[in-house]
Amino acid sequence: EPEVTQTPSHQVTQMGQEVILRCVPISNHLYFYWYRQILGQKVEFLVSFYNNEISEKSEIFDDQFSVERPDGSNFTLKIRSTKLEDSAMYFCASLWRGGSGGYTFGSGTRLTVV
Amino acid sequence: GESVGLHLPTLSVQEGDNSIINCAYSNSASDYFIWYKQESGKGPQFIIDIRSNMDKRQGQRVTVLLNKTVKHLSLQIAATQPGDSAVYFCAEEPYGQNFVFGPGTRLSVLP
């Protein structure tokens, strides 16, 4: 069964450092997403990406965040200057949009900012 | 793995019993709903979906009920098994917008 792959599974970084979270969506999917989940809280939408541009972003997705699809397979989330409150699980998801079934999520990257 | 939802509502059921997990959604414009299952250390996994023109949909051992009048969604799991232990999220999709997830319920299956 096709999977969304995320790397690394766990990243520890110092406050103020830049981090890049990587995702390989399912190959024939057209829509890509980043969500985050702070420990003990619900899954929150960050950004959606289609046709090589951001289609929608939440208020969480401020100027410190950016996304890229540098080649035909990878989809990255960059946080330029991490803050303690950025510590969370970050999930990448992709979607074909050809019918029902919802997103396929990756297993997530646990980001710990110290 | 990641411990998700330390302070979530918890539903405890005996193995073999039926489980009912409830969700109140917020947007009357939502026309598509999904239940996700999240096991510890993993991403949300699709279980079942329903569109707003339906009030019931059945899958294998799972049934989703939608009551648009009171904006309520429920997930019924028949003959609950230990492998069903997880956090369950409902997600709503307002037309043309991205999914919004509910707060989640932790299902604990007792032997």
What does the pLDDT read at residue A99? 54
Statement: residue B9 has pLDDT above 60: yes
Statement: residue B96 has pLDDT above 70: no
Distance CA B51, CA B32 (A): 4
Pair of tokens at residue B75: 């997930």
Residue in B24, B33, B11 with CA at minimum distance from that of residue B77: B11
What does the pLDDT read at residue B6? 45
Considering only alpha carbons, which residue of chain A is nearest residue B49?
A101
- B104/A33 CB distance under 8 A: no
Distance CA B108, CA B111 (A): 10
Pair of tokens at residue B84: 């069903």
Per-residue pLDDT of chain A in tens (114 residues, 90 and over written 9): 788 999 999 999 999 999 999 999 998 888 999 999 998 788 999 999 998 899 999 999 999 999 999 887 899 999 999 999 999 999 999 987 755 567 899 999 999 999
- A43/B101 CB distance under 8 A: yes
Give the confidence band of B4 by pLDDT, cuts at 50, 70, 90: very low
Q: Does A90 touch chain B (CB under 8 A)?
A: no
What does the pLDDT read at residue B2? 34
What does the pLDDT read at residue B11? 95
Determine the distance in angstroms separating the CA of B41 from the nearest CA of chain A, rounded to an integer.
7
